[in-house]
């Protein structure tokens, strides 16, 4: 808040994060700006993560080991015990660029009333940046005007910093649906100022074994549920529990666009691995899955407004099923 010293803590949830964890932690310990704390919660790792963390000596680090509770519960515990004004997200396999904390500190100073600051991010493989992630930009009014269009923003979760009191005031993270980030963005963005640093400050490690890759259709349905909650708020309608409408939402998933995203994600992994022929074949598959999504992606590039979710008119067409009590 205005007039108060800025206190920031980098929070790293860890679960079976070897062999990438040392690189991640080194990128935090060697930041150009060093006035911050580090909170690490090992969420019941069964590999060498905890032993490695116990071997690291730095006065800024607070290490906690807990029984496996999952990401949502771990993030909420971090919000409750962080002990500083700002919580800076960092995943255990991603890499912070050297000036990440410096630029975050400068933006918190610039926007003292903001509740969330985020940055651009890039794909990371084989020691280098392999392409920028699509990120929804903010304008001078922050994220709120975008949310009022009824879409969710595309933001790389490990790139964000949260003002702790605001995040707690909206109830922290919710749901174990692997879309806890999208749910947080709209709830905090509707009530508070949110701003983007228009620079790549995080290197996001691409793998082929992430939650989103393994359960892509389920995640797409879950994202529509979060969008449904946003629209319920905007349209002042009474939302139903997940279990009562998930079957309706599943019928709204665009299978072609979903396959396009899967092929493009796999293509980026192959590109980072230097497998150019496999990359081109997957790009061709992506075009075949959804020519419209393909052309939109490459015409839009990294400069347009990235929207996550289905057109709100599709929800309105199913209003009698989604909002029967409104």
Q: What pLDDT was estimated at residue 128?
A: 77
Average pLDDT, the chain: 90
Tens digit of each residue's pLDDT (9 = 90 or more) over 253-272: 988 777 877 877 777 777 77
Q: What pLDDT was estimated at residue 82?
A: 97
- Find which of 72-76, 120-124, 176-180, 305-309 is predicted with most confidence, using mean pLDDT: 72-76
SS (H, E, C) the chain: CCCCCCCEEEEEEECCCCCCHHHHHHHHHCCCCCCCEEEEEEECCCCCHHHHHHHCCCCCEEEEEECCCCHHHHHHHHHHHCCCCEEEECCCCCEECCCHHHHHHHHHHHCCCEEEEEEEEEEEECCEEEEECCCCCCECCECHHHHCCCCEECCCHHHCEEEHHHHHHCCCCCCCCCCHHHHHHHHHHHHCEEEEEEEEEEEEECCCCCHHHHCHHHHHHHHHHHHHHHHHHHCCCCCCCHHHHHHHHHCCCCHHHHHHHHHHHHHHHHHHCCCHHHHHHHHHHHHHHCHHHHHHHHHHCCCCCCEECCCHHHHHHCHHHHCCCC
Band of residue 63 on the pLDDT scale cut at 50, 70, 90: very high
Give yes or no for residue 243 having a pLDDT over 60: yes
Q: What is the pLDDT averaged over residues 16-37?
A: 97
Band of residue 89 on the pLDDT scale cut at 50, 70, 90: very high
Share of the chain above pLDDT 90, in %: 69
Q: What pLDDT was estimated at residue 121?
A: 95
- Superfamily holding 8-205: Spore Coat Polysaccharide Biosynthesis Protein SpsA; Chain A (3.90.550.10)
Q: What pLDDT was estimated at residue 69?
A: 95
Give yes or no for residue 195 having a pLDDT over 90: yes
Q: What pLDDT was estimated at residue 142?
A: 73
Band of residue 131 on the pLDDT scale cut at 50, 70, 90: confident
Q: What pLDDT was estimated at residue 300?
A: 58
Nearest to 12 by CA among 23, 25, 29, 26: 25
pLDDT-wise least confident of 213-227, 272-286, 291-305: 291-305
Give yes or no for residue 43 having a pLDDT over 60: yes
More confident residue, 137 or 273: 137
Give yes or no for residue 211 having a pLDDT over 50: no
Tens digit of each residue's pLDDT (9 = 90 or more) over 132-164: 888 998 866 678 999 999 999 999 999 999 999
The answer to whether the beta carbons of residues 70 and 176 sit under 8 Å apart is yes
Q: Which sequence spans correspond to the domains of the chain?
A: 8-205, 212-322
């Amino acid at each position: 808040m205005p007039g108060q010293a800025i206190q920031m803590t980098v929070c790293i949830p860890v679960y079976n994060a070897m062999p990438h964890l040392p690189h991640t932690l080194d990128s935090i310990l060697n930041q150009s700006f060093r006035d911050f704390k580090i909170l690490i919660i090992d969420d019941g790792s069964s590999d060498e993560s905890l032993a490695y963390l116990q071997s690291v000596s730095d006065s800024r680090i607070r290490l906690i080991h807990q029984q496996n509770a999952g990401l949502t519960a771990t993030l909420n515990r971090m919000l409750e015990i962080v002990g500083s004004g700002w919580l800076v997200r960092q995943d255990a396999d991603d890499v912070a660029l050297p000036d990440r904390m410096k630029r975050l500190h400068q933006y918190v100073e610039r926007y003292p009333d903001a509740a969330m600051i985020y940055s651009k991010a890039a794909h990371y493989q084989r020691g280098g940046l392999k392409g920028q992630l699509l990120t929804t930009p903010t304008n001078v009014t922050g994220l709120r005007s975008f949310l009022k269009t009824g879409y969710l923003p595309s933001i790389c979760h490990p790139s964000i910093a949260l003002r702790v009191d605001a995040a707690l005031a909206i109830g922290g993270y919710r749901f174990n649906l692997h879309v806890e980030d999208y749910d947080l963005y709209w709830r905090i963005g509707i009530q508070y100022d949110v701003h983007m640093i228009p620079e790549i400050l995080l290197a996001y490690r691409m793998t082929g074994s992430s939650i989103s890759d393994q359960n892509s259709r389920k995640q797409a349905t879950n994202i529509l549920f979060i969008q449904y909650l946003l629209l319920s708020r905007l349209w002042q309608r009474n939302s139903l529990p997940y279990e009562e409408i998930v079957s309706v939402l599943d019928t709204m998933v665009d299978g072609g666009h979903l396959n396009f995203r899967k092929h493009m994600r796999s293509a980026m992994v192959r590109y980072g691995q230097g497998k150019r022929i496999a990359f081109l074949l997957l790009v061709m598959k992506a075009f075949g899955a959804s020519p419209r999504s393909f052309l939109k992606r490459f015409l839009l590039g990294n400069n347009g407004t990235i929207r996550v979710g289905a057109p709100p008119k599709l929800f309105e067409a199913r209003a009698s099923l989604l909002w029967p009590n409104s």
